[in-house]
């Protein structure tokens, strides 16, 4: 099932640092990157490009009455598709595959990741209806 890149925050790491690390581990496992690719990744993950779109409880299948998942979801936004296409996506870590996806309310994503996408759409003024 498709999911947004993510994972757990390591000891001593901020949620923002974890977002960047998890993206690199899960979507940037490319050993032969050139300078343009490295520059594109740095531009995408620059702190001034980041907006937190959600923080708190998430509806996750691992939740129980005694333990539950909470998340901080951020949006790192490119202004046009050409910038995004400079990134060479390569699955790594625990990701089976990685790809740019066209999103809509009908996209089937893990847990409540579609709600995070809806928050990003709202942030950017994109209509989001089923």
Tokens of 15: 């949620």
Positive or negative torsion for Cα 37, 46, 54, 29? positive
Q: Which domain holds residue 77?
A: 15-123
pLDDT tens across 32-90, in order? Answer: 667 777 777 777 778 787 889 999 998 889 999 999 999 999 998 777 777 677 677 87
Residue 5 lies in a domain: no
Could you count the other beta carbons within 10 Å of the beta carbon of residue 26?
22
pLDDT of residue 73: 92
pLDDT of residue 33: 66
User: Structurally, how many domains does the chain consist of?
Assistant: 1
Residue 7 lies in a domain: no
Q: What is the 3-state secondary structure (H, E, C) of 9-25?
A: CCCCCCHHHHHHHHHHH
For the CA atoms of 49, 52, 21, 25, what is the dihedral angle to 10 degrees? -100
């Amino acid at each position: 099932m498709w999911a947004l890149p993510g994972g757990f925050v390591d000891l001593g790491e901020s949620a923002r640092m974890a977002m960047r690390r998890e993206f690199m581990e899960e979507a940037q496992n490319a050993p032969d990157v050139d300078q343009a690719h490295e520059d594109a990744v740095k531009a995408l993950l620059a702190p001034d490009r980041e907006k937190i779109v959600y923080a708190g409880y998430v509806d996750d299948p691992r939740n129980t009455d005694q333990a539950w998942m909470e998340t901080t979801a951020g949006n790192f936004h490119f202004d046009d598709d050409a910038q995004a296409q400079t990134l060479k996506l390569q699955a790594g870590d625990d990701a089976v595959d990685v790809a740019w996806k066209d999103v809509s309310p009908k996209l089937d994503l893990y847990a409540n990741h579609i709600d995070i996408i809806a928050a990003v759409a709202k942030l950017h003024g994109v209509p989001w209806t089923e």
